Amino acid sequence: MNRSQLFEQIKKKKSYLCVGLDTDLQKIPKHLLSSADPIFEFNKQIIDATHEYTVAYKPNIAFYEALGPKGWESLQRTLEYIPKDIFTIADAKRGDIGNTSSLYARAFFEQMNFDSITVAPYMGEDSVKPFLEFKNKWVILLAHTSNPGASDFQLLESNGRKLYEEVIRKSQEWSTPDQLMYVVGATQADKMQSIRALAPDHFFLVPGIGAQGGDLEMVSKYGMNKQCGLLVNSARAIIYASSETDFNKRAGEEAKKVQQEMEEQLLAASL
Amino acid sequence: MNRSQLFEQIKKKKSYLCVGLDTDLQKIPKHLLSSADPIFEFNKQIIDATHEYTVAYKPNIAFYEALGPKGWESLQRTLEYIPKDIFTIADAKRGDIGNTSSLYARAFFEQMNFDSITVAPYMGEDSVKPFLEFKNKWVILLAHTSNPGASDFQLLESNGRKLYEEVIRKSQEWSTPDQLMYVVGATQADKMQSIRALAPDHFFLVPGIGAQGGDLEMVSKYGMNKQCGLLVNSARAIIYASSETDFNKRAGEEAKKVQQEMEEQLLAASL
């Protein structure tokens, strides 16, 4: 999917919601455990209930990898089930020397046909570039994450720039806003504003509304650009809204609630 | 495996060789392709031919992941085949928010029983700690990698310390040399010496002899500590020494050659 197609979907659905498929056998409703593939069955029903409010799905790869080969089969089935007009994100945080990153790219872009993958920047240019060699496939580079440990290294300052700022600056030499997004977990207005200034045209994947805390209005006000430029992720608050047989209905209601808030924000930005 | 058991193996085998199992269907001998699981068959014969010269095996997870669920089965079989007195490294370069890193830890330490995993430090403490909660399991944290992109961020200087130095300094607050190693791809004597000074007791996983260039004598002279403290990886130079039916014999010969050089270095260090 390319950037204008993504923006089209955002306008059509009046939403920039990304639903995180952090699907955990210990958290899904008990009645699903007897199905042949409970993980896929859960995802399928979540997708059915949320897809009209959602422009992206983001399976967190660890949840599938922890289940061994079966988990990869559930992931593959899930990916095939997601409607083709919805953007898909492999939240994998990969990144290795060039020939190894090439293999990860093949795994997620060819074996599984994801639209994008999250990548860790620590190993630099040759660890990121192999992912950029696929047409209409995206790298979502970790810049400023939303976890407590973000402050350990990402905020270190060198030559007047914090590490995450340098990641954003440097990586723009490697690609364009047509193939590169950033993970920006900013929950403060001034920080979101300054990061947007560094990358005016890029999409940001924003974790941290819902169960992780945060503020959709602030993120939207200071983070939006003229093509929206935001995908805001929510996982647990939607997919685990209920642990009973009404889990899908409740997930749909929660997704709709977020979509309606997003519609207001898009309107406020005249998009 | 704990630190003294690892050192015992090093003394017994007079070797600190780690063989990288970067097993690629396009590179393994053609006659193996007709077997039921060519990746495992190749690894099995490589292990048979090299295990007496080797203290660690390091499957590069990308190579298996690129093959989908089947690749994970080959990996699992390989891991079960590796003799129990040999240290195993999942070269996965994972790292994510706490609950996600916990799942990666379960995948590699419980599902698959690896002794250790390589972890990327960008997301900081809570992305690393979940891996440290498993007894006698190890984190091998990326510090200074050997690829060209290493210079993009790892060498940035902040408060008088380069980023990789800060990673080494800071991470020592999280664990001890009994559970934490570092990836150190130093190919210059002064750099290896200064890194050793920062972490006198830790093991270093050193990539970059063989196909990636480097110098075993220099690494050993400036990197060894009183428990050896080095695992030096070689992949392609050993496993792809021949692409014919003699590949296993040739792999054994190459591994033996490296082991003999290592024996000299251990002797020079009175170990």
- pLDDT confidence of B215, banded at 50, 70, 90? confident
Cross-chain CB nearest to A95 (options B120, B128, B151): B120
What's the burial of B226, exposed, middle or buried (CB within 10 Å: 0-12/13-18/19+)? exposed
A101 and B62 in contact by Cβ < 8 A? yes
Closest Cα in chain B, distance from residue A230 (Å): 21
Q: Which chain B residues have a beta carbon less than 8 Å from that of A67?
A: 111
Helix H or strand E segment including A206: strand A203-206
pLDDT at site A208: 73
Give which of B70, B72, B97, B168 to mutate to test A binding, by max A Cβ within 10 Å: B97
pLDDT at site B189: 83
A149 and B128 in contact by Cβ < 8 A? yes
Domain that holds residue B67: 3-268
Q: Which chain A residues have a beta carbon less than 8 Å from that of B205?
A: none
In the set A27, A93, A170, A221, the catalytic residue is A93
A156 and B151 in contact by Cβ < 8 A? no
3-state secondary structure of B59: strand
For B226, how many CA atoms within 13 A lie in the half-sphere containing its CB?
3
pLDDT at site B214: 56
B130: Cα separation from own chain's centroid: 20
Cβ-based neighbours of B8, under 8 Å, separated by 6 or more: none
CATH number where B234 lies: 3.20.20.70
Nearest CA in chain A to B157: A158
- pLDDT confidence of B208, banded at 50, 70, 90? confident
- pLDDT confidence of B186, banded at 50, 70, 90? confident
Nearest CA in chain A to B129: A149
What is the DSSP secondary-structure string of B90-124? EEEEE--SHHHHHHHHIIIIIIS--SEEEE--TT-
pLDDT at site B270: 95
pLDDT at site A46: 98
Q: Which chain B residues have a beta carbon less than 8 Å from that of A111?
A: 66-68
Q: Which chain A residues have a beta carbon less than 8 Å from that of B107?
A: 62, 65-66, 68
Other Cβ atoms closer than 10 A to B12: 10
Q: How many domains does chain A have?
A: 1
Work out the mean pLDDT of chain B and round it to a whole number. 95
What is the DSSP secondary-structure string of A109-133? IIIS--SEEEE--TT-HHHHGGGGG
Nearest CA in chain B to A106: B66
Give the Å distances, CA to CA, from B88 to A118, B84, B95, B107: 27, 9, 19, 14
Q: Which chain A residues have a beta carbon less than 8 Å from that of B134?
A: none
Give which of A21, A40, A65, A80 to mutate to test B binding, by max B Cβ within 10 Å: A65
Cα-Cα-Cα-Cα dihedral of B160, B161, B162, B168, to 10°?
180
pLDDT tens digit sequence for B11-23: 999 999 999 999 9
pLDDT tens digit sequence for B238-259: 999 999 999 999 999 999 999 9
- Pair A201, A184: CB distance under 8 Å: no
Closest Cα in chain A, distance from residue B195 (Å): 18
pLDDT at site A214: 56
Cross-chain CB nearest to B60 (options A73, A100, A127): A100
pLDDT at site B210: 60
Cβ-based neighbours of B260, under 8 Å, separated by 6 or more: none
B125 and A149 in contact by Cβ < 8 A? yes
- Of B71, B94, B87, B65, the closest CA to residue B15 belongs to B87
Out of A4-13, B22-31, B215-224, pick the least confident.
Answer: B215-224
Mean pLDDT of B172-178: 98
pLDDT at site A211: 47
A69 and B76 in contact by Cβ < 8 A? yes
For B268, how many CA atoms within 13 A lie in the half-sphere containing its CB?
13
8-state DSSP, A172: T
Active site residues of B: 93
Q: Which chain A residues have a beta carbon less than 8 Å from that of B111?
A: 66-68
A vs B: CB pairs below 8 A:
175
8-state DSSP, B133: G
- pLDDT confidence of B187, banded at 50, 70, 90? confident
pLDDT at site A181: 98
- Beta strand pairing call for B138-144 and B116-119: parallel
Cross-chain CB nearest to A65 (options B104, B153, B166): B104
- Pair A229, A203: CB distance under 8 Å: yes
Nearest CA in chain B to A24: B103
- Percentage of residues in chain B having pLDDT higher than 70: 98
Tell me the average confidence (pLDDT) per consecutive run of 10 residues in chain A, 271 residues long: 97 98 97 98 98 98 94 96 98 96 96 96 98 97 95 97 98 98 88 96 88 75 96 95 97 96 95 93
Closest Cα in chain B, distance from residue A68 (Å): 7
- Pair B19, B231: CB distance under 8 Å: no
Reported ipTM: the value is 0.95
A93 and B98 in contact by Cβ < 8 A? no
Closest Cα in chain A, distance from residue B208 (Å): 11
pLDDT at B211 over 50: no
- Beta strand pairing call for A203-206 and A56-59: unpaired
